[in-house]
Structure 1
Amino acid sequence: MIAPGSRNAPLIITFTNDSDYRCISVPDERVAAFTAMGLTLEKREPVAVICSSGSAAVNFYPAVVEAFYQKLPLVVITADRPIELIDQGIGQAIRQPNVFTTHIVKDFDLIREPADELAKNFNQRSINEALLATKHGPVHINVPFDEPLYGTTEEQVEAQYIDETLGNRTLSNTKVEQLSSIWNEAPKIWVLAGQMLPDSELEEILTSLNQKSPFLIFSESLSNLHCACNIHSIDRLINTISEEEKEALCPDLLISIGGEVVSKMVKKFLRTFKPKHHWYVNEATEFQDTYGALTDHVQVHPALFFKDLMGFTKPKSSDYRDDFLAKDQKRMAKHAEFVNKAQFSDMAAFREILKHLPKDSILHCANSTSIRYSQLFDHEESILHYANRGTSGIDGCTSTAIGHAITTDKMVTLITGDVAFLYDSNAFWNDELPDNLRVIVLNNNGGNIFRIIEGPDKNEDFERFQETIHNVKLQGVATTFGLSFTSVSDEGKLQQVLSSFFAPEGGIKVLEIQTPRIESPEVLKNYWAFLRNGFK
């Protein structure tokens, strides 16, 4: 991904004249970085994003932070002025070395015009170390250039390649025996899955282990985890059970895997009803004590961990698991009863969209209302789910989806809100827009999330400074970038449009669904009331 500029001209010339590289031009640096991040999602292989010096570099920061918390292999290459010019009143000369230092895995400042073998070796070694470190997240390579930037003859240097061999981490038998003794004695066990890539090996071992020694699996759409005995909508269960049932649900042993968990309700639940043991199973060196109850950070891939554990667990039955799975099934039925009759709203729009999504496709949900509605529904197993939940900001949601669509032949659908869509509208300023992208915008003329969460609506200036009510015409964005645009404002028209919206021909399509700003949050409140009242 190349964000055009002048100081990065040597990089542009080098990469665009090398047939080994596919280069895409994206003028907006923030968009370029998020699009590059989206490109990493399909194969988890490094993608570079390149910019000029100065403010261009810091515009990469939002995507760097998101890639850092999702551990995505983003390679950030920033051109720079000579260090002698920094803080000397020269344009676009800022303190670039280590500018991303708190949210980067590795950070390197190359030597300008290395004159001897030692300096050349330093640059080569730094580049190798940076690329190897992408296994753990984003890296930054800062490259200073002096003028002239054009018309120079570069010395041909034979590249030095350094590889890295990593073995699979496994636990000692002593450690597995210690953990399995806790497992065998715990009557109430949870496995809580956060944002993850699909992992068939993990699904198989969890299914086998659950048959031998039953436990509850709590997952979300972003977990991409489909096992028997899954509770897929965490909020739908936790938000509708009594205090006595919450006490009964509280796990003795919690095992968390994957990344970010969307549900605020489960976080509140586990902070209130703390498990006696909490194991965080993740290969990452840093641990997360999200629920204030962590007792062990197991630095092993989850599939390997459960495979090791399997051999030491004792067969048993579990009324606990079966009782709460039965409760979940009843709530699924109540959910369908309400949603199928819901008036036209954000929830009803989601119902129709999910009905029409093509099988074997990819769904991106923007922050923050869209991803929350998505968690209330059960999903077709062949559809993969993604969202920018590393930091959970609204910036870059469209750009990320575009980047992902560039790397796959599958249909990619983005469900976003009007504010997130407008905020990232420059995402379409890209010279290789993919035809396999469909963008659906739920337009309720503001940040409707602030009518859903408690508190903001009590603020006197809430509508202006938090909900940010607007009358911006979304069609103008589509027209600017030459995109197909359709707008609907009722359920019948929505169903009609969705029947052909995902047809493969026609290039990028944008569908605006105008939903009621005031009524949509009320429908959601009524949904929760309906479910709670159904189980009193």
Structure 2
Amino acid sequence: MGRDTKQISIDRTDAQRLNEDLTFNLVQAMARIGIRHFCICPGGRNAGMIDLIAAEESFHIVSFHDERAAGFFAVGKIMATGEPCCVVTTSGTAVGELMPAVMEAYYSGLPLVVLSADRPKRFRGSGAPQTAEQERIFGLYTPHFEDLEAESEPLLHTWDLKKPCHINLCLEEAYEHDYSRFPDIRFESRQESSSLFREEHQEAVHAFIEKHEYPFAVAGALSPGEAAAVKRLLLHYQLPCLLEGHSRLRADKDLQHLFITYGDDALVKSAAFGYPIDGVLRLGGVPTSRLFRDTEFLEGKISLLSVSKNPFAGSSWGDLLHTDLSRFQSPHWRPEGGFAKKAQDWMERDRALLSKMEALYEKYPRAEQTLVHRLSKIIPLDSRLFLGNSLPIREWDLHATTASPLEEVYAVRGLNGIDGQISAFLGLLHPQKKNIALMGDLTALYDLNAFFALKDCHGAFTLFIINNGGGKLFRKLFKNPLIQNNHELGFAHWPRMFGLSYAKVETSIIGPELLQYAVVEIVPEQDQSDAFNVEMRP
């Protein structure tokens, strides 16, 4: 039986009013829960949404032609502000482009909102133009999902703002819209108090430390409040630790006597030097370090406890405390001498390795490791630093100076991919600070259209790209060169396309004058990088 064309004709006469009601009610619901930041990806179907959002001066708007870049920019914006950010898309494949950013936000515990335009529900399964099955398209990665059409009431007030959210707006065909009949948008700010922390969580952490003879802590990404609490905990127990760059504690002068820098073989070498680690305490985000990954093979031999605001252990075994670390306080009892006293021989071995690296920085001035070390020395202390995934974040943790206590260090580590990294960095830009990013060449190639957003965002920045001609993280692991994606590409023309300044470094000189450029391409000498690694092998 054919469709009732009379009913469809009636629906079309009301289409504009129905779309306006639905769109206004949703945008009003967003404002009431404190959504202020929007990344808009214009299309025909979401034009009415964009007009309403753009008319509100209190909203902060950045426009994109590419949804994937918009999604990762939103991830960076959420990390920078601690507030939700909404990406507005048209229908069809535009929605699917957001899957990588939504997955990242899910594992990072970020309140990313996807607002997608859709055709009316009656078109589902029809194969009509620009009609995809957008209902729950992101699956488990958007725990809060709403599928709204005419006369539906938004339920955004029930969203917990702790994971991504998808609102799918089913709109009738209408190319005109007029919101003059609606009242002004009313703003509220819903303050979410942490419901994760329990006193017994704090007691469980203290009990874990105290029941082991040789405990060791590994800190991943931490918020400022979490970093302060972790610092108190480490100092209280004098607990040996590995502090990653985005923990905000790596260069803290009060913790240097507890800090192990060379953690790649720590689980083996610690025993050889009198501190056989029997318990690993992971604090904050999932670490990048080899040490934490090596715990995967030690089930039944050591204990493992992860303490994080995100509900992921980061390992196939071990215990997880899903809690708010920033609420932790130190107990009144203090161990005599602390654990660091037992680890002195191991600490001395680590200091000897650091001295050896200092000598290798002189011996191999164009090694990638040396260039990262020298770069870390020119970054102003009040900068905001973003570390790209893969090799750069690992080299920073191993080779960056600890003489400069940078507090604002960020990385996108929820799912550890290299896509969207430049976009996420741009989302993090602080308008009053110097913003610096360190990334690899494949990471940059993945996100070359990110600079399109610069017309709508502000902040002085320098993006350092270490161009070693491919994915050299895999060089030590796999013999097949295809896995490395080797290439001979350079980046000179790319920044100029966007009117940005550019410099290329093919020497060992890394000076503060490089910070005047927007993009700096650093080309290490691969033979020196390989030789550096060979000499550092145990």
Q: TM-score range by the shorter chain?
A: 0.7 to 0.9
User: Aligned partners of 2:389, 2:518: CA distance in 1, in Å?
Assistant: 20
Asked if 1:238 corresponds to 2:266, the answer is yes
The residue number in structure 1 matching 2:345 is 323
- Counterparts of residues 239-254 of structure 1 (less than 5 Å): 242=269, 244-245=271-272, 248-254=274-280
User: Aligned partners of 1:330, 1:50: CA distance in 2, in Å?
Assistant: 53
Q: CA deviation at 1:221?
A: 0.8
The residue number in structure 1 matching 2:318 is 293
Q: CA deviation at 1:363?
A: 1.6
Deviations 1:31-63 (A, max 9, x none): 111111111122211111111111111111111
Deviations 1:143-173 (A, max 9, x none): 1111103234576267696946636655457
- Counterparts of residues 9-408 of structure 1 (less than 5 Å): 9-110=47-148, 112-114=149-151, 119=152, 122-123=153-154, 126-130=155-159, 133-134=160-161, 136-153=162-179, 156=182, 163=190, 166=193, 169-172=196-199, 180=206, 183-199=209-225, 201-210=228-237, 214-225=238-249, 226=252, 227-228=254-255, 229-235=257-263, 238=266, 242=269, 244-245=271-272, 248-269=274-295, 271-272=297-298, 276-284=302-310, 286-288=311-313, 290=315, 292-294=317-319, 297-305=320-328, 307=329, 310-311=331-332, 314-318=335-339, 319-377=341-399, 378-379=401-402, 380-405=404-429, 407-408=430-431
Mark the CA change 1:151 to 1:179 in structure 2 (over 3 Å): closer, same or farther.
closer
User: Aligned partners of 1:85, 1:154: CA distance in 2, in Å?
Assistant: 30
RMSD: 2.8
Name the aligned partner's letter for residue 502 of structure 1. L
Mark the CA change 1:20 to 1:234 in structure 2 (over 3 Å): closer, same or farther.
same
Mark the CA change 1:62 to 1:142 in structure 2 (over 3 Å): closer, same or farther.
same
Name the aligned partner's letter for residue 285 of structure 2. G
The residue number in structure 1 matching 2:22 is none
Confirm or deny: 8 A CA contact 1:236 1:376 kept in the other structure.
no
**Equivalent in 480, 499, 503 of residue 512 of structure 2:** 499
Confirm or deny: 8 A CA contact 2:240 2:260 kept in the other structure.
no
Deviations 1:363-387 (A, max 9, x none): 2122212112112124421342222
Name the aligned partner's letter for residue 480 of structure 1. M
The residue number in structure 2 matching 1:440 is 464
The residue number in structure 1 matching 2:44 is 6
Deviations 1:250-285 (A, max 9, x none): 43333221112111343215633755433322244x
Mark the CA change 1:316 to 1:31 in structure 2 (over 3 Å): closer, same or farther.
same
User: Aligned partners of 2:520, 2:356: CA distance in 1, in Å?
Assistant: 30
Confirm or deny: 8 A CA contact 1:61 1:100 kept in the other structure.
yes
Confirm or deny: 8 A CA contact 2:435 2:459 kept in the other structure.
no
Name the aligned partner's letter for residue 368 of structure 1. S
The residue number in structure 1 matching 2:473 is 449
Confirm or deny: 8 A CA contact 2:501 2:518 kept in the other structure.
yes
Tell me the number of residue pairs that the alignment of Structure 1 and Structure 2 aligns.
490
Name the aligned partner's letter for residue 420 of structure 2. G
Q: CA deviation at 1:208?
A: 4.3
Deviations 1:176-196 (A, max 9, x none): 667655543422122221122
TM-score by length of 2: 0.83
Q: CA deviation at 1:395?
A: 0.6
Mark the CA change 1:322 to 1:270 in structure 2 (over 3 Å): closer, same or farther.
farther
Name the aligned partner's letter for residue 93 of structure 2. S
Mark the CA change 1:323 to 1:60 in structure 2 (over 3 Å): closer, same or farther.
same
Mark the CA change 1:253 to 1:141 in structure 2 (over 3 Å): closer, same or farther.
same
Q: CA deviation at 1:324?
A: 2.7
Name the aligned partner's letter for residue 331 of structure 2. M
Name the aligned partner's letter for residue 293 of structure 1. G
User: Aligned partners of 1:434, 1:162: CA distance in 2, in Å?
Assistant: 25
Q: Which moved more, 1:353-362 or 1:9-18?
A: 353-362
Confirm or deny: 8 A CA contact 1:451 1:521 kept in the other structure.
no
Confirm or deny: 8 A CA contact 1:254 1:275 kept in the other structure.
no
Mark the CA change 1:163 to 1:368 in structure 2 (over 3 Å): closer, same or farther.
closer
Mark the CA change 1:477 to 1:21 in structure 2 (over 3 Å): closer, same or farther.
same
Confirm or deny: 8 A CA contact 1:251 1:275 kept in the other structure.
no
Three-state SS of the structure 2 residue aligned to 1:320 is: helix
Any unmatched runs of 5+ in structure 2? 1-38
**Equivalent in 523, 531, 534 of residue 514 of structure 1:** 523
Confirm or deny: 8 A CA contact 2:197 2:323 kept in the other structure.
yes
Name the aligned partner's letter for residue 147 of structure 1. E
User: Aligned partners of 2:314, 2:372: CA distance in 1, in Å?
Assistant: 33
Confirm or deny: 8 A CA contact 2:366 2:524 kept in the other structure.
yes
User: Aligned partners of 2:223, 2:197: CA distance in 1, in Å?
Assistant: 21
Mark the CA change 1:145 to 1:324 in structure 2 (over 3 Å): closer, same or farther.
same
User: Aligned partners of 1:162, 1:143: CA distance in 2, in Å?
Assistant: 23
Q: CA deviation at 1:128?
A: 2.1
TM-score by length of 1: 0.83
